[in-house]
Amino acid sequence: MEVINNLQDNLDLIRMEILNDNLVIFPTETVYGLGANALSERAVNKIFEVKTRALNNPLIVHLKDKSEITKYAYISNDVEQKLIDNFMPGPFTLILKKKDIIPSCVSAGLDTVGIRIPIDDIAHEFLEGVGVPIAAPSANISSRPSGTKVLDIKGEFENKVNYIIDGGESKIGLESTVVKVIDNIPTILRPGFITYEDIKSLIGSCNISNHVLNMVKDNEHVESPGILYRHYAPKTKCLLVYSSDLNKLKELINNNKTKKTIILGSNKLNDINCYKYLNYGNTVSQIAHNIFSKLRECDKLNGDLIIIEGVKKEGLGLAIMNRLIRTSNFNYIEL
């Protein structure tokens, strides 16, 4: 895999790679994407194959600017329009009614499509340069932590993808907020950097899907098929713990008798006796930025268990907890 450091000088190469139905990994402000021409079924199928992604897990379509949206989807009401006006471009995906030009493999047979317009400069240059909409999931093999830096991603896709465009570490580090307007109310299917509070203060109402923090029960209707699958997970077993009371949190951790316990948390926990301690940052933005790469780092330490410090489920903290609950496969204790 070749790392492209200067996109401007290599735009023709990258455009041809995409138009030849091959995959290109590109940076965005959220995480890196594994991109293909969204209008080509052949190219899109390669994403599912290379990522080993379930075929019923739909992909988000990335566009260069807002004027493109109605080429591929219908804006059906004022709430959708307002969300577009305020949160796009940015770390925000809106689920809209799909137009026929988008092949059904992109949306996994649904009549809707997720639309996102990244605000990152290199992502914009890439999307403008290739001239076609780009279907892209996060750049990681399915079930693994999302890719937020070139070194983490390169190993996973070596010999499978020819080019990765280097944009440095992803600024935000967590995937976009996914929203669908249901009965005129924005509903968060996946929390992200654009928060519940942001949407509520703009529209006046906002719902959060039940599945953001809870497991899907048998036969329950699922709005966002992605949540059916194992996600964001290192190979080492994880336990997620949260308490607003530091003493209780430490007690919880100290009660754990696993031999080689790795602690991944803030500097509040740096004095705990354990096999290895890794700091994931001390604010929610730092944690979001670092978390996926730190989980990969933990995996290299040959521990028996990773205990991850949880955060308060508000603001960006909701998105962090949504990811970590899945990282730990719902192995979660809150006191």
Choose among 295, 259, 262: nearest CA to 280: 295
Looking at 42-50, 99-107, 138-146, 163-171, which segment touches Mg ion (CB under 5 A)? 138-146
Closer residue to ligand AMP in complex, CB, 94/278: 94
- Please give the Cα distance from 177 to 48 (Å, whole number): 22
Minimum CB distance to ligand AMP, residue 137 (Å): 3
Shortest-Cβ-distance residue relative to ligand AMP: 226
189 binds ligand AMP, rule: CB under 6 A: yes
- Please give the Cα distance from 156 to 172 (Å, whole number): 21
Q: Which of 22, 107, 138, 195 binds Mg ion (CB under 5 A)?
A: 138
34 binds ligand AMP, rule: CB under 6 A: no
Q: Are strands 276-279 and 60-62 parallel, antiparallel or unpaired?
A: unpaired
Closer residue to ligand AMP in complex, CB, 1/108: 108
Residues 122-141 close enough to bind ligand AMP by CB under 6 A = 137-138
224 binds Mg ion, rule: CB under 5 A: no
Minimum CB distance to ligand AMP, residue 292 (Å): 12
- Please give the Cα distance from 295 to 273 (Å, whole number): 20
Which residue type, as a one-letter code, is found at position 204?
G
Binder of residue 114, out of ligand AMP, Mg ion, none (CB less than 5 to 8 A by kind): ligand AMP
186 binds ligand AMP, rule: CB under 6 A: no
Residue 316, SS3 per DSSP: helix
- Please give the Cα distance from 225 to 92 (Å, whole number): 18
- Please give the Cα distance from 225 to 133 (Å, whole number): 22
Measuring CA to CA, how many Å separate 42 from each of 22, 105, 141, 198, 230? 9, 10, 19, 38, 26
Looking at 135-143, 166-174, 277-285, 319-327, which segment touches Mg ion (CB under 5 A)? 135-143
- Which residues bind to ligand AMP, rule: CB under 6 A? 57-60, 95, 107, 110, 112-114, 137-138, 175, 178, 189-190, 223-227
- Which residues bind to Mg ion, rule: CB under 5 A? 138
